Structure 1
Amino acid sequence: MSATDIVVILVGAVIVVGIAWFFWGPRRAGTRASLTSTGYQEAMVLVKGGYTPDVIVVQRGKPVRIHFRREETAACSEMVVFADFGKSARLPAGETVTVELLPEEPGEYDFTCQMGMLRGKLVVE
């Protein structure tokens, strides 16, 4: 095996580890949704190569409005799906779309694109 072969194998291994870390690595603590005077908990999520923030923390029993702003044209990010709540929404590029939820039980609920490649989490306390 030549030195070039070893370098190629090592670079490939680093790329595989990086991809695994991106998709399955630990998540940050999250962003707490702000409580408005109307009683809604609201958060803004930028959709551009992923969800920013990708973890949103809310209180149970209070309605939630999550505003998604899609700033890309990748096919994967055309839709957001909250499978546990039976909700989904189309996200046209350059527009803000609001998804309303009422989380009644504490727990962690995923939201994803329709292909499951972009991932976020709603943490209900």
Structure 2
Amino acid sequence: MDTTAFIVTIAGVGLAAFVIWYFFFSARQTASAVSMSGGVQEVAITVKGGYSPDVIEVERGKPVQLSFYRDEENSCSEELLMPDFNVRRDLPAFKTTLVELLPQQAGTFTFTCGMGMLRGNLVVK
């Protein structure tokens, strides 16, 4: 193995380690829902290269309203999937889409883009 191959190999391993850390171990932005009049829990989520916040905490048995604002035209983020709640919504670019649900069970429920690359979690307490 010559010097160039060695440097490329080391750089590749370093880059792979960074990607693994970023997607699996980096700190996630968490938001707790704010209860409004009528007991509806509301959270605003920005979709731009991911979901922000990507971890949302809500209370079980109370209605939840998630406002997804898609701040991009990337085709990956044009669809929202929440399979545990049977939700599939198109997210038009530069518009807000409301998703309403009533979580009955405690647990962590994943939501993704249509391609499964963007991920977030709804934590029901």
TM category, shorter: over 0.9
Relative distance call for 1:49 and 1:21 in structure 2 (3 A) is same
Give the residue type in structure 1 aligned to 2:107.
Answer: G
Match of 2:75 in 1: 75
Match of 2:119 in 1: 119
Give the residue type in structure 2 aligned to 1:64.
Answer: V
Match of 2:16 in 1: 16
Give the residue type in structure 1 aligned to 2:4.
Answer: T
1:1-125 map, 5 Å: 1-25=1-25, 28=28, 30-125=30-125
What is the TM-score with the length of structure 1 in the denominator? 0.93
Separation in structure 1 between the aligned mates of residue 21 and residue 115 of structure 2, nearest angstrom: 18
Deviations 1:70-117 (A, max 9, x none): 111111100111000001111111000010110000000000001110
Does the CA-based 8 Å contact 1:27-1:55 persist in structure 2? Answer: no
Cα offset for 1:21?
2.6
CA RMSD of aligned residues (A): 1.4
Give the residue type in structure 1 aligned to 2:65.
Answer: R
Q: What are structure 2's unaligned runs of at least 5 residues? A: none
Aligned residues: 125
Separation in structure 2 between the aligned mates of residue 116 and residue 18 of structure 1, nearest angstrom: 20
Separation in structure 2 between the aligned mates of residue 93 and residue 81 of structure 1, nearest angstrom: 16
Find the residue that maps to 2:5 and give its secondary structure: helix
What is the TM-score with the length of structure 2 in the denominator? 0.93
Separation in structure 1 between the aligned mates of residue 82 and residue 69 of structure 2, nearest angstrom: 16
